[in-house]
Amino acid sequence: MKHRLPFVPTLCVGLAVAAMIALGIWQLRRAEWKAALLDHYAAAENLPPVAFPTDPDAVEDVLYRRSMVECAQVLSQDAMAGRNAKGRSGWVQSVHCRLAAGGEADLVLGWQRRPETGTWAGGPVRGVIGPGRGGTARLIADPPLAGLEANARPDPADLPNNHMSYAVQWFFFALTALVIYALALRRKWRDHNGRVA
């Protein structure tokens, strides 16, 4: 006896599977994009210094490159958990500054064992541009300032590139949906044949 596929359930499962496959392909493309971006970041330390980006749209192109700013006025100071250049846990001292060239920036002055905020009053800061909060950048001082120890240098290898695993998950979900639907159809047809017999 010839079995017919139920139209609405088959359409729903087909659309869901197509969406999952499309998401898997999108994640594969994101994985390629992320790999190229990480290669760009890895090469950044050998490129010449650039102006510090105060526009969030310019941050991605200059991350992990050297830069310099002039902190004209310290607007706030903060201490947060972090590691030094030797990997020891402690407190990273940072400031939010008004820049002499205009705009504002977050600057990481260095590392210390205790969460004490310092009294650094501003001045020139050289260092490496690292990712900040909300798509902004921050400058990690190198050499450190205010008598602090060297902070851990921002490393592009710390950025996750898990798009490939997401792609595998989406393809697995699509396959699982197809297998479950096939088993449901098989059971339905078997029950139907049992009733007919």
Domains of the chain, by residue range, sit at 7-38+162-196, 46-158
pLDDT band at residue 71 using 50, 70 and 90 as cut-offs:
very high
**pLDDT tens digits for range 45-59:** 788 999 998 888 888
The arithmetic mean of pLDDT across residues 68-79, rounded, is: 91
Q: Where are the beta strands (DSSP E) in the chain?
A: 50-51, 66-83, 89-99, 104-112, 123-131, 137-141
More confident residue, 70 or 196: 70
What's the confidence (pLDDT) of residue 161? 81
Please give the Cα distance from 155 to 128 (Å, whole number): 10
pLDDT surpasses 90 at 68 = yes
pLDDT band at residue 6 using 50, 70 and 90 as cut-offs:
confident
pLDDT surpasses 70 at 196 = no
**pLDDT tens digits for range 13-22:** 999 999 999 9
Write the CB contacts of 188 (distance below 8 Å, at least 6 apart in sequence): none
What's the confidence (pLDDT) of residue 43? 83
What's the confidence (pLDDT) of residue 168? 95
| 46-158 CATH | 2.40.50
Please give the Cα distance from 63 to 57 (Å, whole number): 12
Share of the chain above pLDDT 90, in %: 43
- Nearest alpha carbon to residue 91 among 146, 170, 23, 35: 146
What's the confidence (pLDDT) of residue 158? 76
pLDDT band at residue 109 using 50, 70 and 90 as cut-offs:
very high
